Structure 1
Amino acid sequence: MEELILLGESFTSLLYAAGSSHKEAKIVDIWEGGSLLYGWRLTVPTSLKCLDRVPIFCSEPNHIEELGGEPIATEPNISFIGSEEGYRSKVTLGNEVEIQRDWILEYTRNRYYARGGWCSIFTRLRSRVKAPRVYGELQKILLEDRVLIIKGSRIKYGVVFNTLPLPYMLSKLADRELSNYLGTLRYVSFYIVSLLVKKTLSSLKVTYVGKRGYSLAAVVELPVNYLVSGLRNYAVVYCFVPTTLGKLRAELFQKVLTELRKLRIIETYGAVVVERGYFERYGLLGAISPSYINHVIKELRRHDIYLGGRLGLWQEKTIHDITLSVRALL
């Protein structure tokens, strides 16, 4: 049986590997923590073992239960500061990017969170998959030779199932015609600040910031009691700042803290127990012509490269969408 390469240690790849009878699979990724669901490991003296990089809510509790998680029902307190139009302008970079779907705005209607965080579900899933891992930069894909160049080493493949970001993967192809599609793949990046703070919250709070003068577009305040029973005097604060890599500056973190104080979300920096800053390049995916993506899919399949997942297919997906798509493959 030819070797199957799962390109990207993503939620999609791990679900597939856990349910597949293909024994020759190998997982290849740039680094161990590449998935958005990997989360942050914590060493602070609380019973919370990891922190999600972004909050993810589901519309139905069974979408979490089918993954072995415990759903927690939330009752969000939603507010807008400024106009919804102002918020929309921020998350489209001044209407420059036509986005497929605004999953941050969907926090207003998706109500179920996973006890312990999605990072806990991802960790359990990852431990179930025994496939060998190879971590390193993908330097080139030689289609005609059916070879991946990873850190200077050649890996011969039979079939590739790619869930790495499509722009990244296309940039590694020797095929000039396919790499020309890079310019059609637009997106909105986010600088995401995650804070574990000493703060008592009775319910989930989501604040959308459409007001000018603020870099923030949205703030999500999640009671830690949703994640770990009995831990009532802590909250996780997620801050979303639409930006680009070229505009990313070290002082942006301090600016976010200043804006949180102005919005009275935190009172002092002393309340912060854990802080993480994270640049998510592919925050919101831009729309793309179906004929473009279908052509790319068709040409790659000629070389036994298949696309999957949110970033691999360049298609906004919910957790449940991903679960259903993987089941269809098994």
Structure 2
Amino acid sequence: MWHIKVPATAANLGSGFDTLGLALSLSLDVWFSEAKEVSISVRGEGQGIVPEGPDNLVWRTAATLYREVSGKPIPPGRVTVKSRIPLARGLGSSAAAIVAGLTLANTLLPKRLSREELLAIATRLEGHPDNVAAAIYGGFILAWDDQGAIRVQNYPAPDLRCLLLIPDYRVSTEDARRVLPASVPIQDAVFNAQRLALWIDAVNRRDWSHLRQAGEDRLHQPYRQKLVAGMGPLIEAALSHGAAFSALSGSGPTILSLVPSERAMEVAQALTRAALEVIPGAFQLHDVTPSSFGAECVLDSWQWRRGGSRRRLQLGPGAWH
């Protein structure tokens, strides 16, 4: 039996619209064992909503890639999908499903594709690279388009706690993109470029003192406020009580705050108080960590560490963390 594990991801991270991504310790897990017929079961987040047939995004992605590369149908089997990633909350649920499907197909192919090839396919399917790149590589990523080729610079994840304030309503990526303008004033573009540079400086030097400014944005968050109730007050509540960073996660409605461990309880309490005032309905608060691991596939109970004799199967060339 193969076990595939893909992290949730937070994209944009304030100033890095369609550019920055961060892997999180929430995950989507897929188990696959060959059988005479295909059977798919969904557990956890999405149970009762996500299809359990050929239209299941994990299986559909896997079957498509396998046929495109090999010219043959993917071997049938029993598939169990168990997700801890809430749907349509800005935490990369669709990106995780796409990457899980690509990983499954790549595991079964006679000749595996590289991570770079899988990233290109995932970006084409998802429409933008930030979530899928973080899901594949793990850690903190900077992604950019180089004349049609997607490039990624991978950095260690920030050593901060991650508080996720998740409202109990959905914001679709399509709706969140529909509210964005076709063009922005040049001063807003410069504003974001300056703050994106702060993000890269911070992860290079492991200095989180300027992350508050790195989270400031004029390209997408101001336009999405109408879709995310209380976004401004929630971000301000986190920052004013000790968070190093707070911003919309992806297209929302989740608010992601990066917090030093010693301030996590204070920030969590402040977010809860603010959420009770501004969110119309229920919400969840998750205390997780950034993840250094991207997508991986393990056969049964095999374990691997760098330099060991056993190994985890990879998406492509290069060693995992």
The TM-score, its normalising length taken from structure 2, stands at 0.32
Q: Which has the higher helix share?
A: 2
The TM-score, its normalising length taken from structure 1, stands at 0.31
